[in-house]
Structure 1
């Protein structure tokens, strides 16, 4: 049955206000409003558009929603088709219009929550995250073909969000019109609750299901939320069934998320599960060097090594400590140095989270205690004013750190390990001397943050 042009326009005029509410403004104004309904023949609603790019976009991004709205308005399951009108431009003919459309698409599709600094180039790879990094890069290069879903888990501040957003940013760099949505599970849940109460579930589902890539952070917040789990289950199924990429992060593996429905748990395990561990010392130092490089600030290696040793927990705290040191030097208008780093972080580190003192920190505290400089302590000079402080520093380093004798020799001006062993034996033999014992006690107390001794 063929409808008249007037009937077709009447139906479409009823659809437009509904579509305006459910679509982003750029998409509605640029694509949907400009589509001209020309005929409703049988079960097919036909449109004409003015450019190939517009036709491609409407077919790939808006077709399903338009069909849903037509069904709401007419009560019929209508198919739709898009054709180029007689005056339509050919690909490349109207480059100004196509450039404008492309810009609109990029601005609309890029998730406002994606942070441009989170890229693979700014991520430091180490033994603790090498597998997760490789998996994320594979997903970014071939979405929905490598691992789908990709499930990343690890402790707070270890780089899960960085890697997840790096996937999104990489996909945008290679396909600017890809529709990538990044959200936390908390945001997903809050929007779901509001959509239910406001009767706008179709808007919510269009936002999270009409995508090419869904990046969902902190899935563990779904614990105990049965209706949210059910909604996400169907969202997951629709995206996975349409070969759309899903990336999920959590602070624990799926099997350890309590009250998670078995059907969701099994789906999370369909793809690849990759964990991120606490970075080792070398990786922590590399992360600090990268951060300093990105900030455009020169930080001596001994400073990054010190921070890496005294902040072993996570990357956020590590970078926070570096920022604190940089701020300290900026306010005092002095260059970054080990002495400044020790001073800047004394309150940051103690006493709530005591850590083993590092070799540089022990050297600094011993130097301050005896009134000598670090350069003097590590110099080849052998006068009595320096020998005793140096031997005490070597002894305390051997006692309180895991550094080997050869490593300690290198830290103290490139000395042989036998020199360190002699110094340790010398101080050990003098511990019965009350003055030496008190000196050791005072220095250890300062290392532990107790400056009253």
Structure 2
């Protein structure tokens, strides 16, 4: 049982969003005994946040590590466990206190008998991740270039070389078409090319930026937050900007951060599933700033690009993919790169488990899980039928005023599928459900968040989304 928590941490580090792991899970301590896992958080706020949002995820990882599902308790770390000073804490400062403790005193920096000072919430690590802490998964070398993404690729690569007339770029595409790949490629190339021992690259999602801002406000450490992102970053890579819609305080802070970085000549790359003009509830000044750099859109890959992506992924899996197999897969899998990779992985795994070569019969069997018998785009009517069947609701419920949780989830998933599989603008999608453009955008953002974090709800949505083309 002594190794239960280290093994659980190892599993979580590989499966959870890096930002979530760094901010919320890594600061935890744990004790495992008698089928029970007790987690110790640095303060009550972190304990509450983990309990509300990450408990199920941690339980699943702990089950893998311990061989059985443990009962999990979350508590605030006892003071005896907090005696070692935090790396970023001034010498002599008490964790969570005011740093004024005096020898012989009561630990509150005042005379004996005085009421304890209100305990400040400790702030998890906010240090922008650089070469020494980030494991870059993607690079330019394994990015397959085609007509759909050539401009974005050239611009991204140009950002790493300098000499361009812009230091800010906005990447836009539907999910699964390569935004994250290009952002990580920029970060990796700049980190490797730098001759500095500490590369100052911040790579995170807009949600993580907002979360860290909230932590800074609650722990009264805004100056430290501003110093990190405005003065100690040379490259800011920020994903999923659309998450900030309606979050005025975070938008204000991001705007000031972008201004500070621009004044220092730093590079900024932003990404979103939506164009800047499609965003709602965004401050006019921030919207203008988002449009001030170079805008690059990534479209769905054409047949030839899909085929070359499959061949590239096959090489990574060390598999020889017959030409007729890659042609067949490229013809039928038209949605996004993730779909191509998922289908190929399933095909390769099935062949290895069976100890057989990849054949067209095997391809036909695997494709049934990814495509319909027809290869055309999915119609809006088909999406509606699929959603109603999957969630067990009537079509009228989707367009009703109901705010029941299951209906809202079904409606948001329909928004997401309509955006992914049709050319309908957001306003037209909303009109089908008697909803406003901003409601559609917010619903899609919520679905993307659950999918990205791979929450239990996200896995449920992913199952529904994956079956849309199944006969």
Task: Please classify the TM superposition score into its range, dividing by the shorter chain length.
Answer: 0.5 to 0.7
Distance 2:303 2:341 in 1: 14
Question: Aligned ranges for residues 52-451 of structure 1 at < 5 Å?
Answer: 109-110=130-131, 112-116=133-137, 118-142=138-162, 145-177=164-196, 178-209=199-230, 210-350=232-372, 355-356=375-376
| Cα pair 2:129 2:201 within 8 Å, conserved | no
Distance 2:248 2:240 in 1: 16
Report which of the two has the higher share of helix.
1
Rate the CA distance shift 1:275–1:22 in 2: closer, same or farther, 3 A. farther
Matched pairs, number:
257
Rate the CA distance shift 1:192–1:263 in 2: closer, same or farther, 3 A. same
Distance 2:317 2:165 in 1: 34
The normalised TM-score by structure 1 is 0.53
The normalised TM-score by structure 2 is 0.51
| Cα pair 1:153 1:274 within 8 Å, conserved | yes
Distance 2:262 2:221 in 1: 23
Distance 1:211 1:205 in 2: 11
| Cα pair 1:285 1:305 within 8 Å, conserved | yes
**Structure 2 runs not aligned, ≥5 long:** 1-84, 92-127, 378-468
Secondary structure of 2:89's match?
Answer: helix
Distance 1:266 1:242 in 2: 19
Rate the CA distance shift 1:146–1:296 in 2: closer, same or farther, 3 A. farther
Q: Residues 157-185 of structure 1: CA distance to partner in whole angstroms, max 9, x if unpaired?
A: 00011011101111112105331110001
Distance 2:334 2:227 in 1: 43
Q: Residues 93-140 of structure 1: CA distance to partner in whole angstroms, max 9, x if unpaired?
A: xxxxxxxxxxxxxx9732745523x11110000000000001001001
Q: Which has the larger radius of gyration?
A: 1
> What's the Cα RMSD here?
2.5
**Regions of 4+ moved over 6 Å:** none
TM superposition shift of 1:227: 0.4
**Structure 1 runs not aligned, ≥5 long:** 1-16, 24-106, 358-447
2:396 equivalent in structure 1: none
Rate the CA distance shift 1:195–1:261 in 2: closer, same or farther, 3 A. same
Equivalent in 8, 17, 21 of residue 89 of structure 2: 21
